[in-house]
């Protein structure tokens, strides 16, 4: 029977990072991953990396009209989905090999197979029992099924199957207007596909403030994407080459037909079949219950990443991995960082960090909003799209920056400047005294406090 200091279940961003931190600190670590070809987890194989590669492949198509106005002819532009799919396979292989080598170099033992708790001190993997003093569960998340639209991988797909498509569909209904839905809507829209987003709640990207969500809806519609809010698909009929849908909306029933349906209504925690009850670990709605130090209801077992009820983001998983590694090594215990950047890579991009208006109101914090539209930014004009804005939210009295949001080009990059402001408790006056380079999109941050 093999014995380790720590066993980590799942080699996604959470498990991979946590195992490396612990092994580097001299712990005897075993990382168990379901599938040899799934090192890197959802993020590498069906999430962040392929999704952003797909968006990059069509980024210049989204700017076609503007580039033509600059004298660049895009008449001959052609797109081949199978070429992109092959590029994805080779890129993921390359990154996976690097990650596998990194795990090996850090001294972590890797075992492939499905792990399940036998009792509080051991797991079962492929006929083998592995024991440890501490465990970390990092089994991530899976596609969240729609109550009606079951994925058939042909006409009704999840985000996983987008990366398997060999050809571009003529029309697509994206069910769910969260980050993943909006990103894929941008991808297909850039390729000239007729795209319709049906979102159940009253706003796209529901976690963001209403002004950001409303601007996003307007900008997506300007690009030709149809957006229906408060929409509920109530029935469907599959034909040979299309799916007919009926959806109830605030303005009545919509009936329409699409070549493809993409279901993107979120992710579900992947905690079934790992024997939680055998190790006295509690879960709620599938999410593993943890305390502020990420300890489960069993004091020797931690859980991190998408399997716990914190935001389902790879960088949140990284931060939790680091926190748990620290907590396993040290007597003093840390909590994960609460200042989290949220990023959506659609066009226009959306990003936010720190407290948003909903949170500030809920916490009864008096605040002021400072907003700057990219319309007055020359770099945005040079880049051919001056839609969107940056807003800062700061404490009414002290003017300390508590949060911010951006909708527009490069929002997912610029947001880190607001992240630093929030993290370092900078004030509006601090920003005023800095020099921002010209002409840049970031300059808007300085212009907005200077006026």
The residues annotated with a catalytic role in the active site are 438
The residues with which 382 forms a beta bridge, in sequence order, are none
User: Does residue 32 bind ligand FAD (CB under 6 A)?
Assistant: yes
Pairing of the two strands 283-284 and 267-269: unpaired
Work out how close the CB of 376 gets to ligand FAD at its nearest, in angstroms, rounded to a whole number: 29
Q: Which of residues 4, 27, 34, 243 is near ligand FAD by CB under 6 A?
A: 34
User: Does residue 281 bind ligand FAD (CB under 6 A)?
Assistant: no
DSSP 29: E
Tokens of 328: 């396993």
Rg over alpha carbons for the chain, rounded to the nearest Å, is 23
Site for ligand FAD in 116-155 (CB under 6 A): 138-141
Q: Which of residues 22, 261, 314, 448 is near ligand FAD by CB under 6 A?
A: 314
Closer Cβ to ligand FAD, 352 or 377, answer by number: 352
Q: Tell me which stretch binds ligand FAD (CB under 6 A): 19-27, 313-321, 332-340, 362-370.
A: 313-321
DSSP 84: H
Distance CA 46, CA 257 (A): 27
Report whether 353 contacts 341 (CB < 8 A): yes
Q: Tell me which stretch binds ligand FAD (CB under 6 A): 32-40, 76-84, 208-216, 362-370.
A: 32-40
Work out how close the CB of 254 gets to ligand FAD at its nearest, in angstroms, rounded to a whole number: 26
Q: How many residues bind ligand FAD (CB under 6 A)?
A: 37
Residue burial 54-70, b: 16+ Cβ < 10 Å; e: rest: bbebbeebbbbeebeee
Torsion of CA 308, 310, 316, 321, to 10 degrees: -30
Closer Cβ to ligand FAD, 88 or 399, answer by number: 88
Report whether 270 contacts 284 (CB < 8 A): no
User: Does residue 7 bind ligand FAD (CB under 6 A)?
Assistant: no
User: Does residue 47 bind ligand FAD (CB under 6 A)?
Assistant: yes
Q: Which of residues 114, 256, 369, 400 is near ligand FAD by CB under 6 A?
A: 114
Closer Cβ to ligand FAD, 161 or 357, answer by number: 161
Site for ligand FAD in 320-339 (CB under 6 A): none
DSSP 142: E
Burial bucket for residue 77 (CB in 10 Å: 0-12, 13-18, 19+): exposed
Closest to 412 (Cα-Cα) out of 441, 370, 448: 441
User: Does residue 310 bind ligand FAD (CB under 6 A)?
Assistant: no
Which residue ranges make up the site for ligand FAD (CB under 6 A)? Answer: 9-15, 32-35, 38, 41-43, 46-48, 51, 114-115, 138-141, 159, 180, 270, 274, 305-306, 312-315, 317, 345
């Amino acid at each position: 029977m093999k014995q380790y200091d720590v066993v980590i279940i799942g080699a996604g961003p959470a498990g991979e990072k946590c195992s490396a931190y612990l092994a580097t600190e001299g712990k005897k670590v075993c990382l168990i991953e379901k599938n040899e070809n799934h090192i890197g987890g959802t993020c590498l194989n069906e999430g962040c990396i392929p999704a952003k590669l797909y968006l990059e492949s069509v980024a210049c198509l989204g700017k076609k009209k503007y580039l033509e106005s600059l004298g660049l002819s895009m008449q001959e532009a052609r797109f081949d989905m199978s070429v992109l799919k092959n590029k994805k396979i080779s890129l993921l292989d390359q990154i996976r090999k690097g990650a596998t080598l990194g795990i090996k170099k850090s001294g972590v033992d890797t075992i492939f197979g499905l792990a399940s708790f036998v009792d509080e001190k051991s797991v079962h993997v492929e006929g083998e029992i592995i024991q440890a003093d501490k465990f970390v569960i990092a089994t991530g998340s899976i596609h969240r099924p729609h109550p009606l639209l079951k994925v058939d991988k042909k006409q009704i797909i999840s985000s996983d199957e987008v990366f398997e498509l060999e050809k571009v569909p003529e029309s697509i209904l994206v069910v769910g207007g969260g980050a993943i839905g909006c990103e894929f809507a941008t991808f297909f829209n850039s390729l000239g596909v007729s795209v319709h987003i049906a979102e159940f709640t009253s706003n796209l990207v529901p976690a963001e403030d209403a002004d950001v969500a409303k601007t996003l809806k307007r900008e997506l519609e300007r690009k030709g994407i149809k957006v229906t809010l408060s929409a509920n698909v109530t029935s469907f009929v599959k034909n040979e080459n299309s799916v007919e849908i009926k959806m109830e909306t605030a303005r009545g029933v919509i009936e329409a037909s699409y070549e493809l349906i993409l279901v993107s209504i979120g992710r579900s925690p992947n905690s079934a079949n790992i024997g939680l009850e055998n190790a006295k670990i509690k879960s709620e709605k599938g999410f593993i219950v943890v305390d502020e130090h990420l300890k489960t209801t069993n004091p020797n077992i931690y859980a991190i990443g998408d399997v716990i009820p914190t935001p389902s983001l790879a960088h949140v998983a990284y931060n939790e991995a680091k926190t748990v590694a620290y907590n396993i090594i040290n007597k003093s215990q840390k909590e994960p960082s609460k200042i989290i950047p949220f990023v959506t890579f659609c066009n226009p991009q959306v990003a936010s960090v720190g407290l948003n208006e909903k949170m500030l109101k809920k916490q009864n914090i008096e605040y002021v909003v400072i907003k700057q539209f990219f319309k007055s930014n020359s770099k945005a004009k040079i880049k051919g799209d001056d839609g969107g804005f940056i807003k800062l939210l700061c404490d009414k009295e002290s003017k300390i920056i508590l949060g911010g949001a951006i909708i527009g080009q490069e929002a997912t990059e610029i947001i880190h400047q607001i992240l630093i402001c929030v993290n370092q408790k900078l004030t509006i006056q601090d920003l005023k005294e800095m020099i921002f380079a010209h002409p840049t999109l970031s300059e808007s941050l300085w212009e907005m406090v200077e006026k």
